[in-house]
Chain A
Amino acid sequence: MRVLVTGLSSFWGGRLAQALERDRSVETIIGVSPEDPTCELERTEFVRVGLQHALLRRIVQAAEIDTVVDARLVVDSLQASPRVAHEANVIGTMNILAACGGPDSPVRKVVFKSSAHYYGCEQDDPAFFTETMRRPHPPRTRLESDIVEAEKAVDGFAERNPAVTVTVLRFCNALGPDLRTSHTELFALPVVPCMLGFDPRYQFIHEEDLVGVLRFAVEHELPGVYNAAGDGVLALSEVASLLGKPPAPILPPWGSSLAAAGLRPLGIRVPDEVRHQLRYGRGLDNRKLKAAGYSYAFTSRETVLKHAEGLRARSLRRGEAEPYRYEREVEDFLRWSPSVRRKGTV
């Protein structure tokens, strides 16, 4: 198997590449990203390239890539400004699909990492979204409409290329000691922010499962859309007690967007999609992926407990280990120099 991972610098891309490196059946792993990788990689080859489809196509053709994992989608307003997110999510997806398509393309499988923000959060939502359900209303936030549009492009690609297995994975909110999302930031506060008069339902996936699901999709034939979310849906009050923090209604039920804007100078960022979640919450039906054979390592509750452990240890770990920094010369030396003795080969 010859794999191309986009968004190698993102947490998901980097972690997936690390996981694939351990798999001997994966011959080649190529990571592309406009930024440097953020985690240590052994045999993954990194190519710094933007989202130009002509360049990507040349890489795909030259390396005879058969599996493309698109782990680059911006699913959190914390990661990028709305304009950058739009560029990456809509235009970027289009370009990557353009690089994978065509009659002479060696690509046989595309794994697309999407988000449960596809479904949105509304008053008249079902309690558990299944993959076949449409969102009841048009997207209300920019991020959501970008994700919907990106998925539409993937859907079109799957239709035009019936020989390619296209897997779309809709992930719920992820938590873990190494992840940084809007929710991990909010849960790191001394109180758990909530909206007055609401106790929304929340589902979480552990960062290990996140990587596990991506890897599972690479190794199996999973055509279609799959929800990825840990077992169990928690109430936010339950999350607060698992984290050992008091819930604090910092957002009023009316005028919450103004309040969220007012909190920003204080360093508390509540993006629109999080605000909707704090009001209505969301649950996913995760049984399709389980029926396909994946078993989650952590339930939602265990994920929050693990995250709480990580939060408590965070201050102690700070400054312990030097964060990884990518140096092209060093990486090239380690990979290609004849003087380096490689594990397992000599």
Chain B
Amino acid sequence: MSGRPALPAAPATDDLRELLPAIEPDRQVTDWGRSERVEGLLDATVYEFLYHYWFRCEVEGIENVPATGGALLVSNHAGALPPDAPMIAKAIKEEHPRPRPVHLTVEHFFKGYPGLAMLVNKIGGVPAHPANVHRLLDDEQQLVLVFPEGRKGSEKLYKDRYRLRRFGRGGFVEAAMRARTPIVPIAVLGAEEAMPIFAHVGLLQRLTKLIYFPVTPLFPHFGLLGTAYLPAKFRIRFLEPIPTDQWGERPWDDNGLVQTVAEDVRARIQDELIDLVSHRRSVWLG
């Protein structure tokens, strides 16, 4: 037995990709915990209504979302309960010739909060761990949506609307570079007005252990009704993809390059937002 030839060293990434678990048709939950049933139900009711009738979403540049292979979608983020993520996912489902599921990266907070922990990964949320993003982009060739602003985007006050926050530390660029997948910037108009935040209540945040406790037009004084959105007009603009395989081998080692690309993506989205806002006649009618 000891005469058996030694096994080859670390196999190439392509081999590992083929070794991903096969899809079991009887299952309704993916390995990430995403549930077809829960997502389908929500999609057919709430998202359908919001997308078509409440926000009356208008989509531009859907062809910029690649039909195959992994891609990192990067968008601005706003609203106490941000409606931008489900609307982007719905836009791809409704408008794209080859609709694909969108995986949304969320803060680790959600995995630890009872109730939300059950719900968030059922509807496509994936904890924002670099290893998770890499597996989705590179191994599974999926679409991943990130909000580099994170909670800094969703918790910002109404007076700061459409002013992009800092884009993290460029982790999303590094993730796309490592997976050699394009970055598709997205500018979303309307989410800022759908559930604007006027103030934060620090004490209640500590009591509920939520990431923030906002005061919005309907919350907290109307209780559960506070989860309702105002009917702002939505415009979602998908921008031209930025390929990340143009900088040679291991571009992620170059911190300066990573920061430059992150800043470039941010600037593109900011420019589009200014353009969208300046062409908008009414917040509610577009």
Contact = CB atoms under 8 A, between A and B. Distances in A.
Interface stretch (B53-61, B127-135, B182-190): B127-135
Interface in A278-292: 279-280, 283, 285-287, 290-292
Interface stretch (A205-213, A214-222, A320-328): A214-222
Contact of A233 (B31, B111, B114, B117): B31
B16 A291 contact: yes
Interface stretch (B20-28, B147-155, B259-267): B20-28
A293 interface: yes
A66 B7 CA distance: 19
Contact of A235 (B2, B35, B111): B35
Main secondary structure of the interface of B (DSSP, over half): loop
Nearest to A293: B7
Contacts of A329: none
A185 B171 CA distance: 43
Interface stretch (A7-15, A40-48, A89-97, A125-133): A125-133
Given A128-B131, A238-B29, A287 B16 contact: yes
B27 A291 contact: no
Main secondary structure of the interface of A (DSSP, over half): loop
A133 to B, nearest CB: 7
A197 interface: yes
A280 B127 CA distance: 12
A232 B112 CA distance: 22
Interface in A51-75: 66
Interface band, chain A: 35 or more
B43 to A, nearest CB: 19
Interface residues of B, number: 39
B111 A123 contact: yes
A1 B2 contact: yes
A81 to B, nearest CB: 30
A198 B21 contact: no
Contact of B21 (A1, A222, A231, A279): A231
A128 B22 CA distance: 16
Contacts of A219: 1, 4
Contacts of B7: 220-222, 292-293
A124 interface: yes
22 contacts: A123-B111, A126-B127, A126-B129, A126-B132, A127-B126, A127-B132, A197-B113, A197-B118, A199-B117, A201-B33, A220-B7, A221-B6, A231-B21, A232-B31, A234-B29, A237-B29, A253-B114, A279-B112, A287-B19, A291-B16, A301-B24, A301-B27
Given A197-B115, A279-B112, A292-B7, 5 more contacts: A127-B131, A128-B132, A197-B113, A280-B112, A286-B21
